[in-house]
Every structure is written in structure tokens, then in C-alpha cells.
């Protein structure tokens, strides 16, 4: 009987390999580096749009406009704040076992809302690259911090990409 229970536990983890709690040291690294930039909302979104203009083109309010002409606007600041606030919420939930259902909920909602807008996995990956570049340039950076952020994005994108494909994670 003990073998059967162990086998079921292993199978459950194998079925959802991305849905594990991040180790405490990774959570701490992500939270620490995020805290250094989370008040740079406009600069973060500007860096994303500058690196990947195709992402800017996905936003009706910003499409076809020069980045210089929109980065000082209220619409730009509001959207930048939404993005950073989302990441702040996700990051605040990391490492807390009883918030794992909430993480899945907010990530499923993000994936579903972006699916409805036609956003692709490639564009999410571009966003990831741009945010990582911004983080690296505004923090002390090393391989452990990079690994922590990769794990945090893997956890996030496992759910978001499933929702993008119309299969929310429960």
C-alpha cells in the first residue's frame, strides 16, 4: 500500500512538473531584485516597447505612434502600472503554499485575456527577455538570480501558455 501511495505522489508531480513551490532562496532572490525596480513602471514598459516594437503594436492606444510621443502619457503610465502591479502580485504569492491556487487563478486569467487579444507565446517570450534585460541592468546579477527568475517565469508561463491554448490549469 505504501508503494502505491508513493507511486501516486510521483505520478502527480510528474504530471505537472512546473507546478512546484520555488525554493526559499529563489523566492528571496526574485523578491529582492523585483523590489529594486518595481517603482520603475514607465521605464520598464518603455524598455519592453523599445526592445520589441511588435509588442507595442498590439496595443490599440499605442500602435503606430512613436515611443517618445506616448511614454509620457497618462495611458502609458496607467498600463505600465497595471503590468508592474500584476508582477508584484504574482511575486508576492511566491513561496507561500496557501497562495498557490491564487497564483493559478491570476495566471489563467492573464493567459485567457491575452488569448482573446491574439497575443502569442513568442510575444510573451519577448516580454520575458526585455524584462530580464531591464532587471539585469538595474540589479546586482549572477547565475543564481538568473536561475531563480527563469524558474519563476517557467512556473508563470506553464499556466499562461496553457490558458493561451484554451486549457487553463486547475
State the alpha helices, DSSP H only, in 73-142. 74-93, 100-116, 121-137
Within a domain: 36: no
What pLDDT score does 18 carry? 52
> What pTM does this model have?
0.86
pLDDT computed for residue 3 by the predictor: 44
pLDDT at 53: 97
Q: Above 90 in pLDDT, residue 6?
A: no
CA atoms of 129 and 133, how far apart (whole Å): 6
| Mean pLDDT score across all residues of the chain | 90
| Domain coverage including residue 149 | 41-165
Distance from C-alpha of 167 to C-alpha of 170, rounded to nearest angstrom: 9
- Residue 156 CA to residue 104 CA, distance in Å, equals 8
Under a CB-based contact definition with an 8 Å cutoff, are residues 162 and 110 in contact?
no
Q: Flag whether 72 is in a domain.
A: yes
Q: 70 lies in a domain?
A: yes
Task: Label residue 123 by pLDDT band (50, 70, 90).
Answer: very high
Which conformational region is residue 117 in: left (phi greater than 0), alpha (psi within -120 to 50 degrees), or beta? Answer: alpha
Residue 2 lies in a domain: no
Q: What 3-state class would DSSP assign to 60? A: coil
Q: What is the CATH number of the domain that holds 119?
A: 1.10.490.10
Residue 124 belongs to some domain of the structure: yes
Classify residue 20: in a domain, yes or no: no
Indicate the number of domains in the chain.
1
The answer to whether position 62 is within a domain reads yes
Residues 6+ apart with CB under 8 A from 93: 99, 100, 102, 103, 106
In a domain, 29, yes or no: no
Amino acid at each position: 500500500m505504501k508503494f502505491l501511495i508513493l507511486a501516486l505522489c510521483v505520478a502527480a508531480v510528474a504530471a505537472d512538473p512546473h507546478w512546484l513551490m520555488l525554493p526559499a532562496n529563489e523566492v528571496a532572490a526574485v523578491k529582492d531584485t523585483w523590489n529594486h525596480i518595481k517603482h520603475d513602471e514607465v521605464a520598464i514598459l518603455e524598455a519592453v516597447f523599445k526592445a520589441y516594437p511588435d509588442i507595442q503594436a498590439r496595443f490599440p492606444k499605442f500602435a503606430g505612434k512613436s515611443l517618445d510621443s506616448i511614454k509620457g502619457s497618462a495611458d502609458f503610465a496607467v498600463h505600465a502600472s497595471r503590468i508592474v502591479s500584476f508582477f508584484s502580485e504574482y511575486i508576492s504569492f511566491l513561496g507561500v503554499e496557501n497562495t498557490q491556487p491564487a497564483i493559478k487563478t491570476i495566471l489563467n486569467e492573464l493567459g485567457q485575456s491575452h488569448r482573446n487579444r491574439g497575443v502569442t507565446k513568442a510575444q510573451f517570450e519577448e516580454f520575458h527577455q526585455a524584462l530580464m534585460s531591464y532587471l539585469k541592468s538595474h540589479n546586482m546579477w549572477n547565475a543564481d538570480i538568473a536561475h531563480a527568475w527563469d524558474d519563476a517565469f517557467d512556473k508563470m508561463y506553464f499556466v499562461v501558455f496553457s490558458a493561451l491554448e484554451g486549457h487553463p490549469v486547475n
